[in-house]
Amino acid sequence: MATVVELHVNGTKRRVNASPSRSLLSVLRDDLDLTGAKYGCGEGQCGACTVLLDGEAVRSCITPVSAAAGKKITTIEALERGGRLHPLQEAFLETGAMQCGYCTPGMIMSGVSLLSRNPNPSESEIVHGMQGNICRCGTYPRIVAAVRMAAAQRGSR
């Protein structure tokens, strides 16, 4: 397969020079300095590396960069628009849904993807939808509350 030379990231075309089998995570972090997505396990088990591909949450640590070529990649860095946070980011702040914060970008990206599929998820739908993301500090109840709060805010607008 050919070297990947261009990625569509956060609304901008970015030049890269990446062998196709490299992980999307390593290209984002090491080549493009988009370090919001984190390495947590390298096997798609923890969700710290979650980004959106055409709006769909993927584990970028097990996604070859070739699979992202030609698609719209959205990372945590793009959620804030013109100084305004995404409602889910606001909700994380409001509910104090973090301790060390290392899982937070991946959690938020998974939550954004969940809310785009299901704008008003029940608690069990949130638990099910977020089951692939690990918060080792154990702030799960607060993250569930944050997703609910963001859903309610979107619903009320």
Partner 1 sequence: MNAEINRRDFLSALGGGIVVFCASGKVDAQETGRRGRGDSQPQEISAWLHIGEDGGITVYTGKTEVGQNIRTSLAQAVAEELRAPFESIRMLMADTDVTPFDMGTFGSRTTPTMAPQLRKAAAAARGMLIGIAAQKWNVDRANVEIANGRIRSGQHVAAFGELTKGQKLVQTIQADIKLTPAADWKIAGQSIPKVNARDFVTGKHRYTSDLKRPGMLYGKVVRPPAFKAKLETFNDSAAKNLPGVTVARDGDFVAVAAPDHESAGRARSAITVEWKTEPQPSDRELFAYLKANAEAGEERDTLGSIERGLAEADQKLSQTYTVAYIAHTPLEPRAAVAEWTGDKLTVWTGSQRPFGVRGELAEAFGIPEEKIRVIVPDTGSAYGGKHTGEAAIEASRLAKASGKPVKINWTREEELTWAYFRPAGVIEISAGARKDGTLTAWDFHNYNAGPAGAQITYEIPHRRIVFHPSKSPLRTGAYRGLAATANHFARESHIDELAHLLKIDPLEMRLKNVTNERQRAVLVTAAEKFGWGKQKVAPGRGYGLAMGFEKGSYVATCAEVSVEGGRPKILRAVEAFECGAVVNPDHLRNQIEGAIVMAIGGALFEQMRFENGKILNPKLSQYRVPRFGDVPVIETVLVDRKDLPSAGAGETPIVGLAPAVGNAIFQATGKRLRSMPLAL
- Using CB under 8 A as the criterion, which residues of the chain lie in contact with partner 1 when the complex forms? 19, 22, 26, 29-30, 33-43, 45-46, 48, 75-77, 79-80, 85, 89, 92-93, 96, 98-105, 108, 126-128, 130-131, 133-144
Q: Which is nearer to partner 1, 41 or 53 (CB)?
A: 41
d(Cα 153, Cα 151) in Å, to the nearest integer?
Answer: 5
CB of 39 to partner 1, least distance (A): 7
Q: Which is nearer to partner 1, 93 or 152 (CB)?
A: 93
CB of 21 to partner 1, least distance (A): 9
Is the Cα torsion angle 57, 60, 65, 66 positive or negative in sign?
Answer: negative
d(Cα 95, Cα 112) in Å, to the nearest integer?
Answer: 16
Q: Which is nearer to partner 1, 65 or 69 (CB)?
A: 65
Pair 147, 108: CB distance under 8 Å: no
CB of 8 to partner 1, least distance (A): 19
CB of 154 to partner 1, least distance (A): 17
Alpha-carbon distances of 53 from 8, 29, 76, 98, 113, rounded to whole Å: 10, 16, 12, 25, 10
* φ, ψ (nearest 5 deg) of residue 79: -75, -35
